Amino acid sequence: KERLEAVDFVSHFNAGSAWAVKKGNPNKVDTSDLCGKKVAVQTATMQETAANKMAKQCKADGKAEMDVISSKLQTDVTTNVVTGKADVFYADSPVAGYAISQTDDQLEALGEDVGVTKEAVAIKKGDSDTAKAVQAAMQKLMDDGTYMKILKHWGVESGAVDKAEINPTDLG
């Protein structure tokens, strides 16, 4: 919200964090208790930070160790779950949606996306002509179905919004 002082925004998507497991959740992963599980994450993400915090809590509670497997590339994170090296991965929801869509039905989302917030295009503060043009273009894509076709292609339709807004009040 503090960035609204420097730029204007046009909303276009909702995103948060998501979990993904092998189809059917064969390892019975429960995100409310990941102690004893192997969790794959991408290096230098907020999901890696969160997973490491969960792992420390498992240890502090005297529970089975949670193994955090960090990889530089999301493709490696995804592969770790597909091949069974990890039980679950944690990533940004659009990243997870795309990864799931690329695994030929080998993975599925686990539970609902968490920490979902509105994402937006940043535009120079006060450039209302550009903001209006971007908003109108986004809204046209939403209204004519192109927007949803694009999101479905990338496996991220769960983040769809139905209205592009300039400086919406519910930015994350």
With beta carbons less than 8 A apart as the criterion, state whether 136 and 19 touch: no
Question: In tens digits, what is the pLDDT along the chain, a chain of 172 residues?
Answer: 788 999 999 999 999 999 999 999 999 999 999 999 999 999 999 999 999 999 999 999 999 999 999 999 999 999 999 999 999 999 999 999 999 999 998 999 999 999 999 999 999 999 999 999 999 999 999 999 999 999 999 999 999 999 999 999 887 6
Q: What is the CA radius of gyration of the chain?
A: 18
At CA 8, angle to CA 7 and CA 10, rounded to 5?
140
Q: Go through the domains of the chain in sequence order and give each one's CATH number.
A: 2-14+117-159 (3.40.190.10), 15-116 (3.40.190.10)
